């Protein structure tokens, strides 16, 4: 099996057209899906200890470890640590809690829109910007200019071989009834949570979906399940109220 890309990069490939790079999702669900994929990466890099209904918890003494090498994961961990530190400072008068939770909705908000640094007043990059920068620096995508009236920068996969691979790999594994590793299982989860399964996981029968469901329920870590549930809920809210 060929080496796969980072999880969020692969979701980017699945959620965009293989050739011209237009998004299959509308901007808001895309932002939520990419945020969930990137947070899953942070979890698999062992920075997140647990996630519950409303908060995520970093590993104990996270600030003492060497920062992650991946630039996108680095940015997210840095932000999460900053929020946790701010919370600890504001709570110092109260009884100190071991590791305070970080609001999940707010984290998704930061990753979707890009937070503003309080001191420098500079906007920090959103999950989408982090992922696209990572893809561009690895020469996996190239810049294109889109839009008739307001031109904006977008990205296009450099090679169809690379862009088609993640979706096809996951689909074929499921089709053959194989056991998916955690990386692929999470990717299938993000695809399902963003409603892309009809586009990406085509030609699968009920039995194959059952097998995927069973593996997901059995093998996916609780934290990732919670992240994906939060993402799906946020997207459901968009369709209902936007």
Other beta carbons within 10 angstroms of residue 216's beta carbon come to 18
Decide whether 163 or 215 has the Cβ nearer to other proteins.
215
Decide whether 164 or 229 has the Cβ nearer to other proteins.
229
Decide whether 144 or 213 has the Cβ nearer to other proteins.
213
SS3 15: helix
Contacting other proteins within 142-171 (CB under 8 A) = none
Total residues belonging to the chain: 242
SS3 41: helix
Contact yes or no for 15/235 (Cβ under 8 A) = no
Q: Pattern of binders to other proteins over 86-105, x per CB under 8 A?
A: xx--xx-----x--xxxx-x
Q: Pattern of binders to other proteins over 171-210, x per CB under 8 A?
A: ------------------x--xx-x-xxx---------xx
Measure the CA–CA gap between 24 and 184, rounded to whole angstroms: 20
Identify which of 145, 140, 47 has the alpha carbon closest to the alpha carbon of residue 99: 47
Q: How big is the site for other proteins, counted in residues (CB under 8 A)?
A: 67
Please, what's the b/e burial string for 77-88 (b: 16 or more CB within 10 A of its CB; e: otherwise)? bebbbebbeebe
Q: Tell whether residue 138 is a contact of other proteins (CB under 8 A).
A: no
Rounded (5°) CA angle 162-231-163: 5
Q: Which residues bind to other proteins, rule: CB under 8 A?
A: 24-26, 29, 50, 52-55, 83-84, 86-87, 90-91, 97, 100-103, 105-106, 109-110, 113-118, 123, 189, 192-193, 195, 197-199, 209-210, 212-225, 228-229, 231-237, 239-242
């Amino acid at each position: 099996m060929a080496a796969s890309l980072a999880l969020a990069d692969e979701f980017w490939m699945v959620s965009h057209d293989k050739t011209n790079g237009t998004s299959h999702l509308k901007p808001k669900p895309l932002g939520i899906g990419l945020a969930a994929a990137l947070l899953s990466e942070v979890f698999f890099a062992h920075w997140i200890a647990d996630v519950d209904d409303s908060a995520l918890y970093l590993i104990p003494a996270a600030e003492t470890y060497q920062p992650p090498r991946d630039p996108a994961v680095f940015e997210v961990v840095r932000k999460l640590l900053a929020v946790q530190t701010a919370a600890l400072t504001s709570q110092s008068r109260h009884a100190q809690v071991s590791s305070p939770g970080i609001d999940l909705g707010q984290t998704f908000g930061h990753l979707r829109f890009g937070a503003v640094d309080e001191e420098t007043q500079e906007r920090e990059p959103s999950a989408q910007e982090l992922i696209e920068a990572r893809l561009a620096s690895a020469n996996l995508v190239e810049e294109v200019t889109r839009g008739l009236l307001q031109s904006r920068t977008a990205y296009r996969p450099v090679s169809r071989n690379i862009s088609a691979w993640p979706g096809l790999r996951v689909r074929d594994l499921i089709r053959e009834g194989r056991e998916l590793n955690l990386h692929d299982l999470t990717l299938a989860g993000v695809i399902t949570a963003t409603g892309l399964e009809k586009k990406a996981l085509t030609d699968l029968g009920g039995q194959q979906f059952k097998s995927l469901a069973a593996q997901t329920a059995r093998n996916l870590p609780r934290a990732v399940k919670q992240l994906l549930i939060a993402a799906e809920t946020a997207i459901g809210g968009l369709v209902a109220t936007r």
